[in-house]
Amino acid sequence: MDYNHIEIEGKWKKFWAENKIYKVSNDTTKPKYYVLDMFPYPSGAGLHVGHPLGYIASDILSRYKKMSGYNVLHPMGYDAFGLPAEQYAITTGVHPASSTDENIKRYRAQLDNIGFSYDWDREVKTSDPSYYKWTQWIFSELYKHYYDLRADKACPITDLINEFCKTGNAKIQATNTLDITFSAEEWKSFNIAQKEEILMNYRLAYRKVGYVNWCEALGTVLANDEIKDGVSERGGYPVERKPMMQWFLRITSYAERLLNDMKSLDWSDALKTMQANWIGRSEGAQMFFDIEGHDLKLEIFTTRPDTIFGATYMVLAPEHDYVDIITTKAQKEDISQCIKLVNNRSERDRMAEVKDMTGAFTGAYAINPFNGDKIPIWIGDYVLKDYGTGAIMAVPSDDERDATFAKKYNLPFIDVVDKSSYPGASLHDKLGIIINSDFLNGMEVPAAIQYMFDQIDLKGYGQKRVNYKLRDANFSRQRYWGEPFPIKYDKEGIPHLLEKSELPLLLPELSNFKPTTDGKSPLAKATDWVNDGEFTRETDTMPGFAGSSWYFLRYMDSTNDDEFASQDAVNYWKEVDFYIGGAEHAVGHLMYSRFWHKFLYDKGLVPTPEPFKKLVNQGMIQGVIESIYLKKSDLVKEFYSEEIALSMENEDFALIPIHIDFVSQYGTPNSHLSLEGISEFIKWRPEFANASFFTSDGIIENGKIISGNSGVKLLTKSEVGKMSKRYFNVVNPDDVVEKYGADCFRMYEMFLGPIDQSKPWDINGIDGVSKFLRKFWNLSHNEGVLMISEDAPNKEELKVLHTTIKKVTEDIERFSMNTTISAFMVCVNDLRRLNCNKSEILKPLTLLLAPFAPFIAEEIWYQLGGEGSVHHAKFPTSNPTYLVEDTILYPICVNGKKRDEVEFSPDETQQNIEQAVLSLESIKKWLEGKPAKKVIIVKGRMINIVI
């Protein structure tokens, strides 16, 4: 028969499922290899062609490793809690659990269509109670631990309590947010509430006030993503930052280890740099300033204590606790106005808009401990509450942001660093000589910094300290569709953990998913659930990253009901050997997962300190967003071709996203709706049936041309962006698979380019891969009939085969899948040229192709009489004896430009080569009779003549 992908793929898909050929055992003598994909969020738009990019690459690697003798764990699951399902529930009333299940079913069918080798018996779903039982359990454990700096690991909070009873807290070295010391006697005298409050400052999961984006009009907390230009995306209502008591995870305890342990990881430098910058370690000084007229010390952190004589004002974050206390009556109005303004700005805007800062004077003064000078205390939006101590000393002469702020509010500058001997140095460089600074005058900056560390410590003004930009993770969400906290509060508001036996704490059933009017999670409405005798339950839920921070461990033993995974399973699979996922997770998800893993490592529950040994970020497959220009008007519905719309400078246009299927030449500058496209658009959007369409070639009304010719083009706006339901640009892999087959789809996605590069989806070019598969099939088939030769292969055929084996193996190892596809194409082209249909060549070639195109390979393997499934066979290895070259073709360059090429034997002497080359006519003419200045011969590479 001719190559028929529908028949072949249907047949083997069934066979593989029935025979469970991808079942993975935890019990084997083979070496293990763990290949992991970042699991998807099952969105309502279904899987699009971007998702499988990484999945296909990792599937190829898994199959290759399996054929190379490893026991490979290659699982898949769903990150099933999330905001979109809840939004959908709010608008439609459909329970998130049922829409999520629907979506998962669809995802599963789509994944199955592509021929992945997942062991589906290990599937996990974060919203499944049997899974989130263990998410809740890990939270409980975090609650029950503190970070001990002497042991440099998490230790049970009961140990800490014991120490408190014995010696109080003075000698304890643990990460905490407590600013009092107490003796053992004092500790014993505290009541339960006081004790619990103190312990909260040590626990790895703890409560404190955090800020949320509150939208009064919508009566809900908004995600940053739901805010555009400072107002809610839905409705455009104002958003303010509102304080709320919330749970946090003390990830900062692990900052140093998260930073240092990266060194051993096989991750890209770019990714490591991003994580390191996110952690943001900096060495500086913690300093205390007296505040005039108050019995308060203002704590600041600075990396530049050497510039203290240039500190002309102090800045507190507007949320700083002291603001209310120190603000003078006269300044109250200014300060509250400023806070109001700042509350309407997102944190990101505050950091980004360095050109437009907002601040106000509190009326209070700090005292410079070194010279007793009064320094005015301001508040400013460019100082963030959670970074450092939420307060800085501002040195406008040596810091750009301080300078901008100082200029706006006319605050003085004092130059303290003379950079004149360092011409190229910018303000960021810690270079220069200190001036106007009393005892520091004349010192070089780095020396002055060190000197000040000593002075601050000596005089008791503070101490040297390491600060991190990394902040503790806000772990509370005022939402329904997430893990409930295993926490209940007693009448005094003291939190209590649920017992392990009470887990999982199930989400209560609800029919209305809107938040309560006071901004609490919808769970607060389930009063039967909330009230548990004397206790009331926590009504916030956990964020999206909770379930995804440990799912890779659950796959190892996904159905275990007694542990998150058995110790046997965890000790066998250890860590993920190869992890692939989107670059958009480069900091968030990876940081949280590493943190949780380290915590479990501290508890001796996992054998490695890091979860992901090697990591590759795949690029995004982007979509094309096509939209048309609608004139903003209540009276008429008029669309204008892009070139006309852009020329009408006085008119306002709305961009209406349109389905990409209607657009001709989509994704190009010439993208447009033809007459046919316009009528399809009208059919799709009947509300525009009577609209007018103005183009340069004619006008259309009611779907008919009223002037001009039928070749009209309504030019559209074409942008590259996310594939998303809202842009009507989602390309479903099912359609491609149906037309070309899964093998072709897999190979084409790989052929598109390097795995880590983003690019817009483009179907042009898939024919090349489709042709390749037919050519491969026809190597063993003639007019649909199997036609194979059992003759021994010749030297040339063996060379083609073994060159391909070498290239493909090397390229899989360095995860360069696009070049493997080219290598296959070259190989098949060569074998066709040689008219080779020999079994001894085609069988190894089929094995080689099996990880890439599993269906056609299985069929050909079967037809060639291969034993068992091709996917259980052994991957071929390259024999170097077939690859030896008799001669090397050298390019001959003159001044680096290629002018000729000559073949030499690999062991030809330098002199002979030089002589032969210089006597070539094609070279002589460049020399013009003069001798060459230099002849460079790079053995096996090239020859360059310098004239």
Partner RNA sequence: GCCGAAGUGGUGGAAUUGGUAGACACGCUGGACUCAAAAUCCAGUGCUAGCGAUGGUGUGCGGGUUCGAGUCCCGCCUUCGGUACCA
Which residues within the stretch 248-287 sit at the binding site for RNA (CB under 7 A)?
Answer: 269-271, 273-274, 277-278, 280
Tokens of 574: 């250890």
Selected from 149, 245, 706, 720, the binder of RNA by CB under 7 A is 720
Q: Which is nearer to RNA, 210 or 844 (CB)?
A: 210
Selected from 294, 471, 603, 613, the binder of RNA by CB under 7 A is 471
Minimum Å distance from CB 123 to RNA? 16
Q: Say how many C-beta atoms besides its own lie within 10 A of residue 372's C-beta.
A: 8
The rounded radius of gyration (Å) of the Cα atoms in the chain is 34
Q: Which is nearer to RNA, 371 or 910 (CB)?
A: 910
DSSP 592-616: HHHHHHHHHHHTTSSS-S-SEEEEE
What x/- string results for residues 15 through 54 when contact with RNA is judged by CB under 7 A? -------------------------xx-------------
Q: For residue 411, give the nearest of 431, 396, 421, 398 by alpha carbon.
A: 396
Q: Which residues 594-653 are close enough to bind RNA by CB under 7 A?
A: 620, 622
Q: Which residues 767-786 are close enough to bind RNA by CB under 7 A?
A: 767-769, 771-772, 774-775
- Give dist(CA 145, CA 485) in Å, integer: 16
Q: Which residues 793-812 are close enough to bind RNA by CB under 7 A?
A: 807, 810-811
Task: With beta carbons less than 8 A apart as the criterion, state whether 887 and 905 touch.
Answer: yes
Q: Which residues 53-92 are close enough to bind RNA by CB under 7 A?
A: 79, 81-84
Residue 414 backbone zone (phi > 0: left; psi -120 to 50: alpha; other: beta): beta
Stretch near RNA under the rule CB under 7 A, chosen from 60-68, 359-367, 430-438, 578-586: 578-586
Task: With beta carbons less than 8 A apart as the criterion, state whether 174 and 147 touch.
Answer: yes
Q: For residue 293, give the nearest of 373, 364, 391 by alpha carbon.
A: 364
Minimum Å distance from CB 547 to RNA? 9
Q: Which residues 301-330 are close enough to bind RNA by CB under 7 A?
A: none
Selected from 751, 852, 861, 875, the binder of RNA by CB under 7 A is 751
Write the CB contacts of 125 (distance below 8 Å, at least 6 apart in sequence).
Answer: 77, 78, 80, 104, 131
What x/- string results for residues 368 through 397 when contact with RNA is judged by CB under 7 A? -------------------x----------
- Give dist(CA 818, CA 4) in Å, integer: 24
Q: Which is nearer to RNA, 447 or 932 (CB)?
A: 932
Task: With beta carbons less than 8 A apart as the criterion, state whether 616 and 653 touch.
Answer: no
Q: Which residues 815-834 are close enough to bind RNA by CB under 7 A?
A: 816, 818-819, 821-822, 825-826, 829
Q: Which residues 842-901 are close enough to bind RNA by CB under 7 A?
A: 889, 891, 893, 895-899, 901
Q: Which residues 149-208 are close enough to bind RNA by CB under 7 A?
A: none
Selected from 232, 455, 476, 729, the binder of RNA by CB under 7 A is 476
Tokens of 104: 């998962």
* Residue 893 amino acid letter: C
- Give dist(CA 13, CA 854) in Å, integer: 10
Q: Find tokens 């090697």 and name the residue.
A: 614
Question: Which residue pairs from 221-225 have beta carbons closer than 8 angstroms and sit at least 24 positions apart in sequence?
Answer: 221/477, 221/478, 221/515, 221/519, 223/83, 224/346, 224/348
- Give dist(CA 652, CA 649) in Å, integer: 8
* Residue 606 amino acid letter: V
Q: Which residues 910-939 are close enough to bind RNA by CB under 7 A?
A: 925, 934, 936, 938
The DSSP code for 410 is T
Does residue number 582 form part of the binding site for RNA (CB under 7 A)?
yes
Cα torsion 827, 831, 834, 839: sign: positive
Task: With beta carbons less than 8 A apart as the criterion, state whether 944 and 900 touch.
Answer: no
Minimum Å distance from CB 640 to RNA? 23
Q: For residue 875, give the nearest of 851, 841, 840 by alpha carbon.
A: 851
Does residue number 762 form part of the binding site for RNA (CB under 7 A)?
yes
Minimum Å distance from CB 490 to RNA? 24
What x/- string results for residues 519 through 558 when contact with RNA is judged by CB under 7 A? ------------------------xx--------------
* Residue 848 amino acid letter: L
Tokens of 222: 């908004």
Buried b (16+ CB within 10 A) or exposed e, 886-899: eebebebbbeeeee
Q: Which residues 417-446 are close enough to bind RNA by CB under 7 A?
A: none
Tokens of 388: 């450092």
Q: Which residues 208-227 are close enough to bind RNA by CB under 7 A?
A: 210, 212-213, 221-225
Minimum Å distance from CB 278 to RNA? 6
Does residue number 352 form part of the binding site for RNA (CB under 7 A)?
yes
Determine the size of the site formed for RNA (CB under 7 A).
102
Tokens of 351: 């950091």
Stretch near RNA under the rule CB under 7 A, chosen from 292-300, 584-592, 643-651, 654-662: 584-592
Minimum Å distance from CB 434 to RNA? 25
Selected from 363, 508, 588, 609, the binder of RNA by CB under 7 A is 588
Does residue number 584 form part of the binding site for RNA (CB under 7 A)?
yes
Q: Which is nearer to RNA, 144 or 722 (CB)?
A: 722
Selected from 470, 498, 737, 850, the binder of RNA by CB under 7 A is 470
Minimum Å distance from CB 17 to RNA? 27
Stretch near RNA under the rule CB under 7 A, chosen from 102-110, 402-410, 763-771, 855-863: 763-771
